[in-house]
Amino acid sequence: MTKKMICLFDVDGTLTDARQPIKPSVEKFLLETVKKQFDLAVVGGSDLNKITEQLGGKSVFEKYKYVFAENGLIAFESGKQLSTETIQSVVGEEALQDFINFCLKYISELHLPFKRGTFIEFRSGMINVSPVGRNCTKDERVQFYEYDLEHQIRQKFIQALKKEFPDLALTYSIGGQISFDVFPNGWDKTYCLRHIRGYDEIHFFGDKTTEGGNDYEIYESDLTVGHRVTCPEDTINQLNILMALIKERREREQLQVPMQCA
Ligand SMILES: [Mg+2]
């Protein structure tokens, strides 16, 4: 029996460079080669605008069977939006406001080499906290990222939040270069899997697959076959390997058919 398979991709670092649009060569390979064999889906932590911007505007819904923004809290199947939950409905307005206030206070007391704007971004299923502010240029993002590697700004911030709010059932996830995400336990990228139906295998490709990374849970999930990649070019390499393996498997299956009949 030929298995029905779907390839599900993280966006930043997997299909695109961080926050950048997908390269034409990568998209061409996906749409002209991979899509002949598998359905395609994408899951990102960012909001829908950023993901559609990166993946070619409104046509994203024609290119990919499923489009998941905010880990699947914003979900589309064949261009049709699916219903989901919100962070405020689960955490509660009161607790959420205490949490946001604490973040703003903590950021106000942080001294960094520079700060920009938009320190907290509120999304459907998560809060994105950026100590340096999301309105960084590309160069500033890299500068902060390097500063953070040395000084562990995001790690320390998360430790402070865990200490202050031990009873909130929240997960903290460092992804990208300048921020971290906060969401209810279980609302990591595995959330999107509840929307995917009718497949024998879900192949997930992601670049932040180690513990604490935003692809870790879905990469490790029993519901997926995980592929760890280092960049969009590596994603293409691994897709080529996967397609070769599948071809081999199908050829073997075809060989077995006459044997079963005999
Ligand atoms: Mg990524």
Q: Is the pTM of this model over 0.85?
A: no
| 200 part of the active site | no
141 assigned binding-site residue: yes
* CATH class of segment(s) 87-184: alpha beta
Residue 21 carries which side chain, given as an amino acid letter? P
Query: Cα dist. 259→250, 252, 254, 256, 262 in Å?
Result: 15, 11, 9, 5, 5
Q: What does the angle CA 237 – CA 205 – CA 74 come to, to the nearest 5 degrees?
A: 140
Nearest to 106 by CA among 168, 160, 39: 160
Tokens standing for residue 219: 């990469």
Tell me whether residue 200 is annotated as binding.
no
Q: How confident is the model at residue 84 (pLDDT cuts 50, 70, 90)?
A: confident
CATH architecture of 5-85+189-261: 3-Layer(aba) Sandwich (3.40)
Angle at CA 145, nearest 5°, toward 139 and 151?
135
| Percent of the chain at pLDDT exceeding 70 | 97
Q: How far is the CA of 258 from the centre of ligand 1 (A)?
A: 44
How far apart are the CA of 205 and the centre of ligand 1, in A? 9
Confidence of residue 262 (pLDDT cuts 50, 70, 90): very low
CATH 3.40.50.1000 in the chain, residue ranges: 5-85+189-261
Cα–ligand 1 centroid distance for 10 (angstroms): 6
Q: Is 39 annotated as a binding residue?
A: no
Please state the rounded mean pLDDT for residues 130-148: 96
197 marked ligand binding residue: no
% of the chain residues with pLDDT over 90: 84
Mean pLDDT calculated for residue range 230-243: 98
| Span(s) in the chain for CATH 3.30.1240.20 | 87-184
- The question of whether 98 is a catalytic residue gets the answer no
> Does position 261 have pLDDT exceeding 60, yes or no?
no
**CA nearest to 3, candidates 223, 243, 193, 250:** 250
Is 12's pLDDT higher than 50? Answer: yes
Q: How far is the CA of 138 from the centre of ligand 1 (A)?
A: 16
- The per-residue pLDDT of the chain, averaged, comes to 94
d(Cα 12, Cα 22) in Å, to the nearest integer?
9
